[in-house]
C-alpha cells in the first residue's frame, strides 16, 4: 500500500503540512470539519521571520506579503495612555537580521493562500469532522460525523486546542496501556489569561502609531493597523484564578460583552478608549488562553501537530509560526521514512519520537517567553511594573532585539528544499557550525569547584607550609605587587569588555564598576567574577544567537581610552627599569599603577552619563544597528585592545619574572608569603579559566575536535609559563572572539580581511 498521511484539521499547521507533503510527493488527504476551507473566525495572525522562511520555501511568501501589513514600528503606552517610547527601528532590525519583517493579516487569508497554492485540491475534504480513530495493523482508519471513512498510514491531528484527535489518542492509549497518559499530562493544560481579540474599522487615533502596546494592571492591549483600513487588536486579561483542563472556561457572547463594558473606559492612547474600538468592531471573540506543551505528542500511528500539541499565549505571535515550524519538521521526517522505505510501525514511532524530542524543548522555550512577556505587559506585580514602565520605558530597542533573536533564529526550515534566497545578517541556527545546547548543570558545578580549588589552594598551602624566615629582599614583595598591578590591566580590561556584551545586560556582570571598586582584593574578586561568568553562560543562547559583538564605538573608545590612561605608568615603569631593586622606586610605581586603575574606574563611572542622541545619530543607529549588533565591526578595535593587553602583560612577565628570579625566590617568607599566595591564586585561577574557555568552545563545536582542544590546553599551559597568566588570558580571549565569530556563519573570509594584521599577529602570539 502507498504510504498516505491523513491530516485532520485545515488549520495553518494542517494546510502548511499539506503543501509540504505535496511538494515532497507524499500522498495525503486533509479533512476539515467546516463547510469552507477558510472560515472567517475573527482572528488575525502575526507572521514572523521563522514562519515566513518556511512559507518562502513552499512559494506563498510573496502572496502573503501582498495581503498583509508590516509592523515597522512599535509604540508603548503607560496605564494612563501616555506614550513611553516608540521603537521606530523595529521593522528595520527584524528585516536586517533575518530578511523578513513581522506582518499582520487575517488568519483566514493565510489558510486561503495555502489552499490556493496547492496544485491538487481534490485531496482537501470539507464538512468532514472526524469523531473516531481505529488502528488496523499497518493502517489507521478515521470515521467522520456523516459516516464516511478514510484510511491512511498515519494520522496527523492538526485540529487545534480542543483537539478531537488528542482525545482519541488518549482514549486508545488508556485502553491499551493504562497509565500511558499520566494525570500530570492531562493537568498540563492550564489557563491563566484570556483574550478578547478582534478586527475593527480604521481608527484615526492610531494613524500616528500604527502598532502599539498599552500596559495596565492585570491586562494589556496590542494594536496593529492592517490592510484595507482594518485594525487588528488583542485585549489580554488575567483571570481571577488559574484553571486546569476541564475547568478552563468556555466563554459566551454575553461574557464577551460584559468584559468589554467593564473595560470600555480604558484609555489606550490620546483620543482613544477601548470602548470606542469595540464599538467599531467587525469581528470579535473572547477565548481562554490555554498554555501547554505535551510530554507525549504521539501514540503508535497518530501524531499531534500545532495547537493540539503545543499552545502558547499569542502575545508574542509565535503560536502559528511554531505550528509552521512543527509541520516542516514532521514533513522532513516523513520524507526520510519514505525515501528509506522504512514504513513499519517501529520506524514510524522512532520518527515521531525524534519529532517530539526536537519540538518539545523549542516550543517550551517559546511558551515560557510568551508567558513572561504577558506577565510583564500586564504589570502582574510591583517589580514587573517598575521594570516595564521605569526601566524599559527609558531604554531603546537594543536590549529587546537579542531576546527577539533568541525566539526567531532557532527556527527550522524544510531541509530537503532549497533554502530561501532572502538573507539577513544573522545566520539561522541550522546554518551555523555550532552544536547548541545548554551546558549540563553537573559540568557547570565541576568547573565552578575547580575555580574555587585553584583560588584557595595557594592560600591553604601558605598557611600550613610557608617557611618562617626573615625577608632578605625588601624589594621582593613590592616587585610582586608591581607585577600584580600590571597584570590587572588585562583582567580589568576583560571585565570592561564583557560588561558591554548584550548577553550580560541586566545581570551581575552587566557593569564592571563593582568589580573595579573591589579590585584591591583581586585574588578574591577575580574567582568570583569567573564563577559568575560560568554560571551565567550555561544557556545555549549565550553562544548563539545572542550577539557576540559589543558596540563598535565602545570598542574603539576602550582601545583608545585604555591606551591613553595607561600611557603614563608604562613610561614611568620603562624609565625606572634600572631602579627596580630599590624598594622606594618600586613602591612608587605600584602607587602609580593603582592610581591609574582608579582612573579606569572613573572612566567607567563617566560612561554611565547618558550621551545626547541627535537625529543624525538616530538615523545612523537605524541604518547600522543590525550590523553593529550582529556583525564584526568591533573586531579591529578589539584586536588592538587585546594586543595592547598582551604586549603590556607579557613584557611585564618576562622582565620582572626572568630578570629578578633570584630576588623573588628569596621573598617567600612571612613578609612575602601573602603576596606570593595571592599571585599564585590569581595565576591558577586564570589558568583554570582559560582551560574552561577552551573546553566550553569544544562543547559547542566551535573547537571542532579533541585534538584542537588538547592543543589549546597545551598552549594555555605553556603560555602561562612563558608570557604569564595575564597575557595568556588576553590571548585566549582574542582567540575566543575570533573562533566565536567564525562559527556564527559563512563570513570568515570577509571578516579576516576586515580584522587586519592585528588579529593574525595576536593569533600567532597565542
Q: Is the pLDDT of residue 757 over 50?
A: no
**How much is the pLDDT for 461?**
67
Question: For residue 619, what pLDDT band results from cuts at 50, 70 and 90?
Answer: very low
| Residue 723 cell numbers, joined | 608570557
**How much is the pLDDT for 297?**
96
Could you give phi then psi for residue 85, rounded to 5 degrees?
-165, 155
Could you give phi then psi for residue 159, rounded to 5 degrees?
-105, 30
Domain stops at, among 431, 457, 484: 431
Residue 315 CB neighbours (<10 A): 26
Cβ 43 vs Cβ 97: under 8 Å: no
The answer to which of 287-301, 549-563, 647-661 has the lowest mean pLDDT is 647-661
Domain stops at, among 386, 413, 431: 431
Residue 45 CB neighbours (<10 A): 24
**How much is the pLDDT for 28?**
98
The reply to whether 385 and 520 lie within a common domain is no
Q: What is the DSSP string of 626-642?
A: HHHHHSSTTHHHHHHHH
**How much is the pLDDT for 766?**
31
Question: For residue 19, what pLDDT band results from cuts at 50, 70 and 90?
Answer: very high
Please list the residues that pair with 293 across neighbouring strands: 310
Question: Is 288 domain-assigned?
Answer: yes
Question: Is 617 domain-assigned?
Answer: no
Cis check for the bond before 93: say yes or no (omega within 30 of 0): no
Could you give phi then psi for residue 300, rounded to 5 degrees?
55, -110
| Residue 350 cell numbers, joined | 522512532
Domain stops at, among 386, 405, 431: 431
| Coil vs helix vs strand at 397 | coil
Residue 67: C-alpha distances to residues 37, 61, 108, 234, 532 (Å): 18, 10, 11, 20, 49
Residue 99: C-alpha distances to residues 352, 553, 622, 746 (Å): 31, 25, 15, 16
* H, E, C per residue of 123-148: HEECCCCEEEEEEECCEEEEEECCCC
Non-local (6+) Cβ contacts of 530 within 8 A are 451, 685, 688, 689, 692
Q: Is the pLDDT of residue 621 over 80?
A: no
| Size (the chain), residues | 766
| Residue 380 cell numbers, joined | 502582574
**How much is the pLDDT for 749?**
32
| Residue 494 cell numbers, joined | 576583560
Mean pLDDT value across residues 223-231: 89
CA distance 303 to 349: 9
Q: Is the pLDDT of residue 580 over 80?
A: no
- Give residue-wise pLDDT tens across range 310-347: 999 999 999 999 999 999 999 999 999 999 999 999 99
- Give residue-wise pLDDT tens across range 36-92: 998 877 678 999 999 999 999 999 999 999 999 999 999 999 999 999 999 999 999
**How much is the pLDDT for 34?**
94
- Give residue-wise pLDDT tens across range 506-516: 899 999 889 98
Please list the residues that pair with 139 across neighbouring strands: 136
The reply to whether 84 and 108 lie within a common domain is yes
Of the two residues 200 and 620, the one the predictor is more confident about is: 200
Global pTM reads 0.87
Domains in the chain: how many in total? Answer: 2
Question: For residue 582, what pLDDT band results from cuts at 50, 70 and 90?
Answer: low
Rounded percentage of the chain residues whose pLDDT exceeds 90: 68
Please provide the distance, in angstroms rounded to a whole number, between the alpha carbons at the two ends of the chain: 63
CA distance 377 to 223: 13
Question: Is 478 domain-assigned?
Answer: yes
Q: Is the pLDDT of residue 612 over 80?
A: no
> Which CATH number covers residue 349?
3.50.50.60
The reply to whether 423 and 485 lie within a common domain is no
- Domain boundaries, position 483: 441-606+622-765
Question: Is 612 domain-assigned?
Answer: no
Average pLDDT, the chain: 87
Question: Is 38 domain-assigned?
Answer: yes
Of the two residues 503 and 14, the one the predictor is more confident about is: 14
Radius of gyration (C-alpha) of the chain in whole angstroms? 31
Residue 732 CB neighbours (<10 A): 25
Q: Is the pLDDT of residue 33 over 90?
A: yes
CA 454 centroid distance within chain = 32
- Give residue-wise pLDDT tens across range 399-410: 889 999 999 999
CA distance 565 to 138: 76
The DSSP symbol for 68 reads S
Cβ 326 vs Cβ 412: under 8 Å: no
Cβ 238 vs Cβ 378: under 8 Å: yes
Question: For residue 463, what pLDDT band results from cuts at 50, 70 and 90?
Answer: low
The reply to whether 587 and 513 lie within a common domain is yes
Question: Is 436 domain-assigned?
Answer: no
The reply to whether 405 and 456 lie within a common domain is no
Q: Is the pLDDT of residue 595 over 50?
A: yes
| Coil vs helix vs strand at 499 | helix
Mean pLDDT value across residues 646-655: 91
Cβ 38 vs Cβ 115: under 8 Å: yes
The reply to whether 453 and 372 lie within a common domain is no
Rounded percentage of the chain residues whose pLDDT exceeds 70: 88
Question: For residue 479, what pLDDT band results from cuts at 50, 70 and 90?
Answer: confident
The reply to whether 507 and 422 lie within a common domain is no
Question: Is 56 domain-assigned?
Answer: yes
Q: Is the pLDDT of residue 668 over 60?
A: no
Q: Is the pLDDT of residue 110 over 70?
A: yes
The reply to whether 343 and 458 lie within a common domain is no
CA distance 677 to 674: 5
Q: Buried b / exposed e across 506-539, counting CB within 10 Å, b at 16+?
A: eeebbbbbbbbeebeebbebbbbbbbbbbbebee
The reply to whether 455 and 492 lie within a common domain is yes
Q: Is the pLDDT of residue 469 over 60?
A: no
Question: Is 611 domain-assigned?
Answer: no
**How much is the pLDDT for 618?**
45
The reply to whether 542 and 683 lie within a common domain is yes
The reply to whether 559 and 599 lie within a common domain is yes
Q: Is the pLDDT of residue 132 over 50?
A: yes
The reply to whether 425 and 470 lie within a common domain is no
Amino acid at each position: 500500500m502507498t504510504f498516505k498521511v491523513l491530516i485532520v484539521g485545515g488549520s495553518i499547521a494542517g494546510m502548511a503540512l499539506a503543501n509540504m507533503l505535496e511538494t515532497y510527493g507524499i500522498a495525503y488527504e486533509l479533512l476539515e470539519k467546516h463547510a469552507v476551507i477558510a472560515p472567517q473566525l475573527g482572528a488575525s495572525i502575526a507572521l514572523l521571520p521563522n514562519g515566513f522562511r518556511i512559507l518562502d520555501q513552499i512559494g506563498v511568501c510573496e502572496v502573503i506579503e501582498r495581503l498583509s501589513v508590516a509592523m515597522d514600528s512599535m509604540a508603548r503606552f503607560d496605564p494612563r495612555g501616555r506614550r513611553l517610547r516608540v521603537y521606530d527601528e523595529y521593522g528595520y532590525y527584524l528585516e536586517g537580521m533575518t530578511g523578513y519583517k513581522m506582518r499582520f493579516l487575517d488568519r483566514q487569508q493565510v489558510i486561503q493562500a495555502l489552499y490556493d497554492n496547492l496544485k491538487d485540491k481534490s485531496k482537501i475534504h470539507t464538512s468532514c469532522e472526524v469523531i473516531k480513530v481505529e488502528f488496523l495493523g499497518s493502517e489507521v482508519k478515521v470515521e467522520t460525523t456523516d459516516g464516511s471513512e478514510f484510511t491512511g498510514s498515519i494520522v496527523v491531528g492538526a485540529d487545534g486546542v480542543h483537539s478531537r484527535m488528542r482525545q482519541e489518542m488518549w482514549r486508545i492509549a488508556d485502553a491499551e496501556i493504562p497509565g500511558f497518559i499520566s494525570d500530570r499530562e492531562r493537568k498540563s493544560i492550564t489557563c491563566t489569561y484570556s483574550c478578547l481579540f478582534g478586527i475593527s474599522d480604521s481608527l484615526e487615533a492610531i494613524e500616528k502609531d500604527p502598532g502599539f502596546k498599552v500596559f495596565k494592571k492585570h491586562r494589556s492591549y496590542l494594536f496593529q493597523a492592517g490592510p484595507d483600513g482594518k485594525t487588528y487588536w488583542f485585549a489580554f486579561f488575567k483571570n481571577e484564578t488559574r484553571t486546569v483542563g476541564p475547568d478552563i472556561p468556555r466563554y459566551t457572547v454575553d461574557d464577551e460583552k460584559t468584559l468589554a463594558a467593564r473595560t470600555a473606559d480604558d484609555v489606550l492612547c490620546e483620543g482613544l478608549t477601548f470602548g470606542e474600538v469595540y464599538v467599531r468592531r467587525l469581528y470579535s471573540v473572547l477565548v481562554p488562553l490555554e498554555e501547554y506543551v505535551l510530554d507525549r505528542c504521539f501514540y503508535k500511528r497518530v501524531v499531534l501537530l500545532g495547537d493540539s500539541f503545543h499552545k502558547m499565549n499569542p502575545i508574542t505571535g509565535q503560536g502559528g509560526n511554531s505550528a509552521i515550524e512543527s509541520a516542516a519538521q514532521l514533513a522532513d521526517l516523513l520524507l526520510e521514512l519514505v525515501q528509506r522505505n522504512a514504513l513499519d510501525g517501529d520506524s514510524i514511532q522512532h520518527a515521531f519520537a525524534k519529532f517530539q524530542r526536537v519540538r518539545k524543548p523549542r516550543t517550551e522555550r517559546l511558551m515560557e517567553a510568551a508567558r513572561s512577556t504577558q506577565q510583564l505587559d500586564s504589570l502582574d506585580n510591583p517589580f514587573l511594573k517598575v521594570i516595564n514602565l521605569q526601566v524599559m520605558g527609558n531604554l531603546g530597542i537594543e536590549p529587546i532585539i537579542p531576546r527577539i533573536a533568541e525566539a526567531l533564529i532557532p527556527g527550522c526550515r524544510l531541509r530537503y528544499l532549497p533554502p530561501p534566497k532572502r538573507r539577513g545578517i544573522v545566520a539561522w541556527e541550522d546554518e551555523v557550525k555550532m552544536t547548541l545546547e545548554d551546558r549540563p548543570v553537573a559540568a557547570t558545578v565541576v568547573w565552578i569547584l575547580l575555580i574555587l580549588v585553584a583560588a584557595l589552594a595557594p592560600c591553604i598551602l601558605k598557611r600550613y607550609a610557608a617557611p618562617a624566615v626573615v625577608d632578605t629582599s625588601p624589594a621582593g614583595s613590592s616587585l610582586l605587587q608591581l607585577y600584580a598591578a600590571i597584570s590587572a590591566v588585562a583582567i580589568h580590561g576583560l571585565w570592561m569588555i564583557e560588561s558591554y556584551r548584550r548577553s550580560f545586560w541586566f545581570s551581575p556582570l552587566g557593569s564592571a564598576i563593582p568589580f573595579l571598586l573591589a579590585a584591591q582584593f583581586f585574588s578574591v574578586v577575580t574567582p568570583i567574577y569567573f564563577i559568575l561568568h560560568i554560571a551565567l553562560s550555561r544557556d545555549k543562547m549565550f553562544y548563539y544567537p545572542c550577539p557576540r559583538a559589543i558596540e563598535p564605538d565602545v570598542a574603539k573608545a576602550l582601545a583608545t581610552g585604555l591606551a591613553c590612561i595607561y600611557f603614563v605608568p608604562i613610561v614611568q615603569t620603562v624609565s625606572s627599569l634600572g631602579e627596580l631593586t630599590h624598594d622606594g622606586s618600586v613602591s612608587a610605581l605600584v602607587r602609580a599603577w593603582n592610581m591609574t586603575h582608579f582612573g579606569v574606574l572613573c572612566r567607567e563611572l563617566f560612561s554611565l552619563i547618558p550621551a545626547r542622541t541627535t537625529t543624525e545619530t538616530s538615523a545612523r543607529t537605524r541604518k547600522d544597528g543590525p550590523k553593529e549588533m550582529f556583525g564584526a565591526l568591533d573586531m579591529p578595535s578589539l584586536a588592538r585592545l587585546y594586543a595592547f593587553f598582551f604586549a603590556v602583560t607579557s613584557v611585564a612577565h618576562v622582565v620582572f619574572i626572568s630578570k629578578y628570579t633570584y630576588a623573588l625566590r628569596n621573598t617567600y617568607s612571612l613578609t612575602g608569603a601573602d603576596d606570593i599566595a595571592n599571585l599564585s591564586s590569581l595565576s591558577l585561577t586564570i589558568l583554570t579559566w582559560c582551560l574552561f574557555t577552551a573546553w566550553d568552545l569544544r562543547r559547542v563545536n566551535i573547537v571542532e575536535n579533541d585534538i584542537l582542544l588538547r592543543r589549546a590546553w597545551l598552549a594555555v599551559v605553556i603560555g602561562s609559563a612563558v608570557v604569564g597568566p595575564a597575557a595568556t588570558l588576553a590571548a585566549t580571549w582574542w582567540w575566543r572572539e575570533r573562533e566565536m565569530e567564525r562559527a556564527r556563519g559563512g563570513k570568515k573570509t570577509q571578516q579576516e580581511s576586515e580584522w587586519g594584521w592585528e588579529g593574525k599577529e595576536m593569533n600567532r602570539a597565542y
